[in-house]
């Protein structure tokens, strides 16, 4: 935990080691999970659009879109599932409103839901593990693209080359994350423009070859159809649900910033990128085998554009991972580790790279990805819903300074440092979700009883949200630590 979180009245006027707080493009951001004072606030909510769109023009969305036809869904069914699953971006945007209200990162705001000590595991701990997993996924995808590019220039494939490419892509990613908020915000504008144009060109070429009614397609019917729809919905929903970190990038906005604008620009940025790229994946899946993330689209785009496409994949994975790594560094600090944000990011980079290399050398990348996405929904759905219910119950009013007071006198200390209403709701929601899981490695008893229908993304959030609301009312009456 940073020094600023040690006292009742934290300040961002001084960063680590007494240095002046810095949040400028091209300079390393000195603040971590510290409270952002009003004088340090800047920016406009529309800047959040490019942050979220630029960072989500990533190949993982094409992969998930391509998964839907592989499940046996028609093009129209796949597009419908894609749209419905991505509605969770509205929830991501809603969580972002807590940033300007508190001047704090999401993992700090979650102290209101789990308590000072409970949050180290259920909020920051869970967030850190999830971030590391997604860092590894994006790094693996970027490395796949880099290897495909080298294959075009006749550079032989080898384990050593895979390791080198992964490290190079990783360094580019984590340098941006180390520099921090202002640098990410500025580069996101460029990423949005460049990657957006590339994505539209990709969509144009894919649309020329796509088939809305493949001749060999055999439509699913009855229970089998709903099983595949539910599995696809869960996989799509996993991506927006992996972002309970909207406050991390909105906390520098003035407290008077419009809540609607903050939520809308955040959610819309992610939604547009996810739907466009997922749609490209769906259409591509109608004519090529999307189970190969390295070369599947080479068959349907011009040779010259395939080179551009590979660069899009590499840069897209870097852009996505810069946000993920930034949040992972904040989560690592909030777990109680007394490191600077930059040092935390570097450590996370090492862990994520090791996991990515393991995945890269695996023969089952796509099935592993599908399983991971489904399993993360089991706990991310409850977590993000508890966060949203907390905002609603307190009308986005938090004792901003109290969130940084980790002593027993903090209004967010609760009982022994744990908000048992939040902790219990999280456990109940996750447990209920796991009963509904349907993956390659595990099928929950509820999913099994329903013939394989996966209700993870629905049951988990409902149980967690209702449990948190009821338990908070019973134990507290109204949420503790209400701000003005």
Mean pLDDT by 10 residues, the chain (484 residues): 39 46 79 91 93 90 90 93 97 97 96 97 94 88 86 81 89 89 90 92 91 76 92 93 93 96 98 96 87 74 91 89 92 91 91 85 65 83 97 96 93 95 98 92 92 94 98 91 76
Q: Token pair of 197, please?
A: 């144009």
Report the candidate in 424, 386, 387, 394 with the shortest Cα–Cα distance to residue 411. 394
Question: What pLDDT shows up at residue 240?
Answer: 94
pTM of the shown model? 0.90
Q: Which residues pair with 438 in a beta bridge?
A: 443
Question: What pLDDT shows up at residue 8?
Answer: 44
Return all residues near 15 (Cβ < 8 A) that are at least 6 apart.
Answer: 21, 22, 30, 31, 34
Return all residues near 160 (Cβ < 8 A) that are at least 6 apart.
Answer: none
Give the Cβ contact number of residue 22 at 10 Å.
14
Q: 3-state SS string over 28-75?
A: CCCCCCCCCCHHHCCCCCCHHHHHHHHHCCCHHHHHHHHHHHHCCCCH
Cβ atoms of 397 and 484 closer than 8 Å: yes
The CA distance from 414 to 402, in Å, is 12
DSSP state at residue 19:
P
The CA distance from 317 to 171, in Å, is 12
DSSP 379-441: HHHHHHHHHHHHHHHHTT---TTGGG--STTSTT-TBTTB-HHHHHHHHHHHHHHHHT-B-SS
The CA distance from 257 to 48, in Å, is 12
Question: What pLDDT shows up at residue 20?
Answer: 57
The CA distance from 107 to 101, in Å, is 14
Question: What pLDDT shows up at residue 151?
Answer: 85
DSSP 168-199: HHHHHHHHHHHH-HHHHHHHHHHHHHHHHHHH
All structural domains of the chain, each given as residue ranges with its CATH number in brackets, are 44-380 (1.10.4160.10)
Q: Which residues pair with 20 in a beta bridge?
A: 14
DSSP state at residue 130:
H
Please give the C-alpha separations between residue 152 and each of 148, 230, 303, 382, in angstroms, as whole numbers.
7, 39, 10, 44
């Amino acid at each position: 935990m940073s020094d600023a979180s040690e006292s009742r009245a934290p300040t961002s006027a001084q960063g680590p080691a007494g240095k002046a707080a810095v949040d400028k493009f091209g300079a390393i951001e000195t603040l971590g999970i510290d409270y952002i004072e009003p004088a340090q606030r800047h920016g406009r909510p529309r800047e959040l659009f490019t942050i979220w769109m630029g960072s989500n023009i990533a190949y993982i969305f094409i992969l998930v879109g391509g998964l839907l036809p592989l499940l046996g869904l028609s093009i129209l069914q796949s597009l419908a599932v894609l749209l419905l699953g991505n509605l969770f971006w509205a929830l991501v945007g809603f969580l972002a409103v807590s940033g300007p209200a508190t001047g704090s990162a999401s993992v700090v705001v979650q102290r209101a839901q789990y308590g000072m000590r409970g949050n180290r595991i259920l909020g920051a701990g869970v967030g850190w593990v999830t971030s590391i997993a997604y860092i590894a996924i994006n790094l693996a995808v970027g490395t796949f693209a880099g290897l495909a590019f080298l294959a075009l220039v006749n550079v032989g494939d080898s384990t050593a080359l895979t390791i080198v490419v992964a490290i190079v892509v990783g360094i580019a990613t984590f340098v941006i994350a180390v520099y921090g908020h202002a640098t990410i915000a500025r580069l996101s504008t460029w990423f949005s423009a460049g990657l957006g144009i590339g994505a539209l060109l990709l969509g144009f070429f894919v649309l020329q070859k796509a088939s809305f009614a493949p001749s060999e397609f055999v439509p699913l019917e009855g229970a089998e159809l709903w099983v595949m729809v539910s599995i696809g919905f869960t996989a799509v929903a996993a991506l927006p649900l992996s972002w309970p970190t909207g406050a991390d990038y909105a906390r520098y906005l003035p407290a008077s910033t419009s809540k609607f604008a903050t939520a809308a620009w955040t959610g819309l940025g992610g939604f547009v990128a996810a739907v466009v790229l997922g749609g490209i994946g769906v259409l591509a899946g109608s004519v090529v085998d999307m189970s190969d993330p390295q070369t599947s689209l080479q068959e349907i785009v011009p040779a010259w554009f395939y080179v551009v496409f590979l660069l899009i994949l590499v840069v897209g994975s870097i852009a996505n991972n810069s946000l993920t790594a930034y949040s992972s560094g904040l989560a690592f600090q909030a777990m109680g580790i007394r490191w600077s944000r930059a040092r935390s990011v570097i450590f996370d980079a090492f862990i994520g790279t090791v996991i990515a290399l393991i995945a890269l050398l695996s023969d089952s990348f796509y099935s592993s990805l599908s399983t991971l996405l489904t399993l993360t929904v089991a706990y991310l759905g409850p977590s993000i819903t508890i966060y949203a219910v907390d905002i609603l119950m307190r009308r986005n009013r938090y004792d901003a300074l109290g969130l940084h007071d980790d002593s027993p006198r903090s209004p967010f200390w609760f009982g022994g440092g744990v908000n048992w209403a939040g902790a219990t709701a999280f456990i109940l929601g996750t447990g209920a979700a796991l009963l509904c899981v349907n993956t390659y490695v595990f099928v929950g008893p509820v999913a099994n009883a329903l013939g394989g229908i996966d209700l993870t993304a629905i049951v988990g959030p409902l149980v967690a949200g209702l449990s948190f609301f009821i338990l908070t009312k019973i134990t507290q009456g109204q949420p503790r630590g209400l701000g003005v």
